[in-house]
Structure 1
Amino acid sequence: MTSLVLTDSSQRTSDSQHLDLTIPVGYSSPVASLVLTDSSQMTSDSQHLGIYSSPVASLVLTDSSQMTSDSQHLGIYSSPVASLVLTDSSQMTSDRHHLLYHPERNMSGKTKAGGQQVVDYEHLQNTAHRLRILSIAATQASNSGHPTSCSSIAEIMSVLFFHTMKYNKSTPRDAVSDRFILSKGHAAPILYGVWVENNLYTENDLLTLRKIDSELEGHPTPKLSFVDAATGSLGQGLSIAAGMAYVGKYYDKASYRVFCLIGDGESAEGSIWEALSFASYYKLDNLVVIFDINRLGQSEPTSLQHDLATYKARVEAFGLNSIVVDGHDVKEVVKAFDDAAKTKNKPTAVLAKTFKGKYFPGIEDKENYHGKPLGGQAQSTIEHLKTLVQEKKKTEHVITSPVGSVPNVDLKNIKLSTPPAFKLGEKVAIRLSYGTALVRLATTNRRVIALDGDTKNSTYAESLKKAFPENYIECFIAEQNLVGVAIGAACRDRTVAFVSTFAAFFTRAFDQIRMGAISQTNVNFVGSHCGISIGEDGPSQMGLEDISMFRTIPGATVFYPSDAVSCERAVELAANTKGVCYIRTSRPAVPVLYKNDEPFVAGHSKIVKQSSRDEVLAIGAGVTLHEILTAAKELADKGIHIRVLDPFTIKPLDKANIIKHARECKGIILTVEDHYREGGIGEAVLSAVAEEEGINVKILAVEGIPRSGSPEGLLDLFGISAKSVVKAVQQLVDHPSPPTKKKY
């Protein structure tokens, strides 16, 4: 310890008053200078000045007299401290007044009376300017990007990452750390700049932005260790954040917080308001959504521009706590996030008034600069920003480590608690067995959850709710948010999420689903009420595009079970499959085809019926497989034999088995599906055999817009019934139909 000076610190008259310098084993001081001037009259019990595990460069208190209440103390814990100065901090008269420095909570080491943190606002502002400079440099190097959109959130990002958030720099996606979703993903350069500041990347790395061999893409993806979900298709990030927050509050029961930064332009998306409604309903007080209200959209000003009053009224109408701030005032932003942490039973919306291109001379708040590098104005803007940085030498950031813990979660090798329990031949709706499978899985692993959009009594997700209520999340009729919440719930491998609704309604959330694939999500989608076989409800309820839609998703697995046993096994397999999974469940009750111990593997088909005399390979799934089996009996009576194949998965398709059996059936394939022709089973089979000589494929599929009617009548009307199969097979094998008997 170099110097310790107390001046006029007399009259320490009570018991246990002390000045305490405690240096734990393994720590070296040194204390360069500690000066207290006129710190007299510390008259109550247990008053003390404590410095723990220095070094302390300088500590000065002037006129800090009359600290008269019990347990008043000045404490500095786990320095270093560059400088601490308190002037005229007298008359601290209430109980338990104290000065505490916790360096894990701030950068500067400054504290003030009352135990309140003193933040180095200048450092945060300087960091914001450096982030602006990095954003300009990166977009200039790539000759593309959004520097003005980065500039509007510079102070917000600085405060979030270098004051408010608690996370591990080395493992930012660990389960206990705070979460951050940049919903306005086009501002990716400033997020990357944060991690330059955190020394994960160099400034030279940042200059590879958007290059083909760089992981720093135009919009963030989970290829990066600090990104949970891909963003950039606007309006989606908040739902993902809400899913994370739900898991944190109700499953992990942890202290981590979730922050989502959205643009004012994307707040026109209905999915944003679906997410706000969800977050409010479930009292997600661990969620903070920050509106970057910078007034300007891509092509023109936003609808509300800087009408903060309307934003405030809207978010409050949705049940959120709202805080309006100047988004470029670090003091206001710090206070907003601190106040949000104290708000209970509702999420907080921080409404930040900002300006696009803030601190960019001649560019700030001007139109026609969206998505453009600064070009010839870049260098002068950077030089201007450098003049605003007050630090001669960059101050090292001290990041707050996460506190508390989260439960250990193991999502590997999840099995049904008991095998399927169905009888061969009994009629069971395939959708019903989805519910029984969920219960069996959750019995084994309580991190298996189901989400639904108010169709749980139709999809049978309600079976899980009845067995394990806490494992079910009702998302109501808001399919885009439903999908986003599921993606968020599955992040960081905290849950195995199954999402169900009518197959037709997933089309509304296709953008969220495709972004889920880019996010490397493992969410499982279950679409019931598929095809015209639902009957009287009519075409608005009939999922006829879903196979095509999910087949286009990179890496997706598309299950199409044809009975209750195969459906339960599909659910089990999906729980253990990486990437997006889709399970197509049918409404009608159909006979059980497989024994309860029948093994199933994705990409492996089943031969349901065969003989040495087969002339056609007929492929169907779900309802149409049963129509084919009915037709096979009638054809056999006519002396025509067909082989019947159940693909089980449409993607991956069992190409080898299809080709093998097609060649054993004279090279003739007939596909029958309760789906539109485009992108369905038939076209999947055509793609599989396209390069094979001597194989011909005929497709029976739904053509045109269907209508209401009985399931049997519709199957017949649209040419995918057993009757239609018989007719098609007869034509394929060139067996003329027997002459019709004349009626008298």
Structure 2
Amino acid sequence: MMNIEKTSAPRAIIGKHLTSLIEKNNKIIVIDNDLGTSTSSADVSKTYPNNFWELGIGEQSSLSAATGLALEGMLPVYVNFAIFATGTIWTQIRQAAYAKANLKIIATHPGLDAGPDGASHQATQDMALMRCIPNMNVILPLDENDVKSAISYALNNKGLYYVRVSREPVPIIYNSPEEANFDITNKVINSTGDDVALFFDGSSFEQAIAAVNLLEENNIKYHLIHVRSLKPLDTTNILEYAKKVKCIVTLENHSVIGGLGSAFAEVLSGHKDAAPLKIVGCNDTFTESGKSTELKLKYGVSAKNVLEKVREVIK
């Protein structure tokens, strides 16, 4: 059984980590839209006020400004809630991608993480919106140290990056960013056997742990695998497991349409010898206000749903 020993909210380290990066590279400009306290990006202003641009509630113009900075050789980092960092500025992001801008977007409160704020703030379509844009990279780090490593990775690699960061506490499995050593390959977290390969995004780690514990209680062997990058996707790893397990399950804090599961379906559709795929995520519906953990359970992002899907294949 996997136990959760320590958790933390990864979004809380964003500002401090960006501050440490600005110390080494003054070209980094952090752009905020009145949510710097919630995303923690405002921590940058305490040490480097000139590198923190508070542009008010003007998301579209802020992303345009970030693109301009990128084209002038600066390193802009736009930080906002996922709902605003995708849907609200989708046209501007598409133009930035068309221009091949060296721009980084850090999105907090993904999926159902913005629970109390209701459906208007819950970004259950953000991965779908981002992965369909050419020249876009979509990465899904796990705990706070993986997030630090992922942000550094994005800034060290040229191009447009969407970094999806959990608002809710996530179990900590890495002791440092160096141990996390972020890259875009899938990461095996735990294995007990070849019945099921459970692939999950970083913000659904708690539900993934609960799911494999439930599988274990039902004598079902598993591989628990963190998908660190949605785009590009580690297809080699996916196909490797698809040929040796009885069932593949994707678990995502996102709609069942257009996200992680859809990306896997696209990969597996061309392989006749692949294991059946079951997609676990948020139902195709608008949700409601409430605690994010309760909403995930109600709307399908749950251990119970994983077991039910597995039972459809493994009787």
Normalising by the smaller structure, the TM-score range is over 0.9
Alpha-carbon distance in 1 for matches of 2:175, 2:297: 30
Whichever residue aligns with residue 635 of structure 1, its letter is L
Structure 1 partner of 2:307? 726
The Cα of 1:694 is off from its aligned counterpart by: 2.3
The Cα of 1:601 is off from its aligned counterpart by: 4.6
Structure 2 partner of 1:675? 254
1:62-120 Cα offsets, whole Å, 9 max, x none, are xxxxxxxxxxxxxxxxxxxxxxxxxxxxxxxxxxxxxxxxxxxxxxxxxxxxxxxxxxx
Structure 1 partner of 2:297? 716
Whichever residue aligns with residue 701 of structure 1, its letter is G
1:244-296 Cα offsets, whole Å, 9 max, x none, are xxxxxxxxxxxxxxxxxxxxxxxxxxxxxxxxxxxxxxxxxxxxxxxxxxxxx
TM-score by length of 1: 0.40
Whichever residue aligns with residue 295 of structure 2, its letter is L
Q: Does 1:567 align with 2:147?
A: yes
The Cα of 1:625 is off from its aligned counterpart by: 2.5
Alignment partner for residue 266 of structure 2, among 669, 687, 691? 687
1:109-137 Cα offsets, whole Å, 9 max, x none, are xxxxxxxxxxxxxxxxxxxxxxxxxxxxx
Whichever residue aligns with residue 673 of structure 1, its letter is E
Alpha-carbon distance in 1 for matches of 2:180, 2:168: 24
Asked if 2 retains the 8 angstrom alpha-carbon contact of 1:484 and 1:512, the reply is: yes
Q: Which runs of 5+ in 2 are unaligned?
A: none
Greater displacement, 473-482 / 424-433: 424-433
Q: Report the 3-state secondary structure (helix = DSSP H, G, I; strand = E; otherwise coil) of the residue aligned with 2:83.
A: helix
Q: Does 1:557 align with 2:137?
A: yes
Structure 2 partner of 1:136? none
Alignment partner for residue 38 of structure 2, among 458, 462, 465? 458
Alpha-carbon distance in 1 for matches of 2:183, 2:263: 15
The Cα of 1:638 is off from its aligned counterpart by: 2.3
Alpha-carbon distance in 2 for matches of 1:717, 1:476: 35
The Cα of 1:526 is off from its aligned counterpart by: 1.2
Q: Report the 3-state secondary structure (helix = DSSP H, G, I; strand = E; otherwise coil) of the residue aligned with 1:525.
A: strand
Structure 2 partner of 1:467? 47
Asked if 2 retains the 8 angstrom alpha-carbon contact of 1:619 and 1:644, the reply is: yes
1:291-347 Cα offsets, whole Å, 9 max, x none, are xxxxxxxxxxxxxxxxxxxxxxxxxxxxxxxxxxxxxxxxxxxxxxxxxxxxxxxxx
Q: Report the 3-state secondary structure (helix = DSSP H, G, I; strand = E; otherwise coil) of the residue aligned with 1:557.
A: strand
Q: Does 1:445 align with 2:25?
A: yes
Whichever residue aligns with residue 79 of structure 2, its letter is S
1:699-731 Cα offsets, whole Å, 9 max, x none, are 112121111122222111111112222322233
Q: Which runs of 5+ in 1 are unaligned?
A: 1-423, 735-744
**Distance change (3 Å), C-alpha of 1:722 and 1:515:** same
Structure 1 partner of 2:186? 605
Whichever residue aligns with residue 15 of structure 2, its letter is G
TM-score by length of 2: 0.93
Tell me how many residue pairs correspond in the alignment: 308
Asked if 1 retains the 8 angstrom alpha-carbon contact of 2:170 and 2:205, the reply is: no
**Distance change (3 Å), C-alpha of 1:643 and 1:475:** same
**Distance change (3 Å), C-alpha of 1:660 and 1:454:** same
Alpha-carbon distance in 2 for matches of 1:508, 1:634: 38
Higher relative contact order (CA 8 A, sep 6+): 2
Structure 2 partner of 1:249? none
Map 1:201-280 → 2, pairs under 5 A: none
Alpha-carbon distance in 2 for matches of 1:575, 1:454: 23
Q: Does 1:531 align with 2:141?
A: no
Whichever residue aligns with residue 255 of structure 2, its letter is Y
Structure 2 partner of 1:630? 210
Asked if 2 retains the 8 angstrom alpha-carbon contact of 1:620 and 1:671, the reply is: yes
Asked if 2 retains the 8 angstrom alpha-carbon contact of 1:533 and 1:714, the reply is: no
1:606-629 Cα offsets, whole Å, 9 max, x none, are 011113x23111111123232111
Asked if 1 retains the 8 angstrom alpha-carbon contact of 2:100 and 2:135, the reply is: no
Alignment partner for residue 286 of structure 2, among 701, 705, 727? 705
Q: Report the 3-state secondary structure (helix = DSSP H, G, I; strand = E; otherwise coil) of the residue aligned with 1:516.
A: helix
Alpha-carbon distance in 1 for matches of 2:228, 2:94: 23
The Cα of 1:515 is off from its aligned counterpart by: 0.5
Structure 1 partner of 2:239? 659
Which of 1 and 2 has greater Rg? 1
Asked if 2 retains the 8 angstrom alpha-carbon contact of 1:430 and 1:561, the reply is: no
Alpha-carbon distance in 1 for matches of 2:146, 2:24: 19
Whichever residue aligns with residue 677 of structure 1, its letter is V
Alpha-carbon distance in 1 for matches of 2:180, 2:35: 30
1:395-433 Cα offsets, whole Å, 9 max, x none, are xxxxxxxxxxxxxxxxxxxxxxxxxxxxx9431112123
Alpha-carbon distance in 1 for matches of 2:199, 2:217: 20
Alignment partner for residue 120 of structure 2, among 516, 540, 552? 540
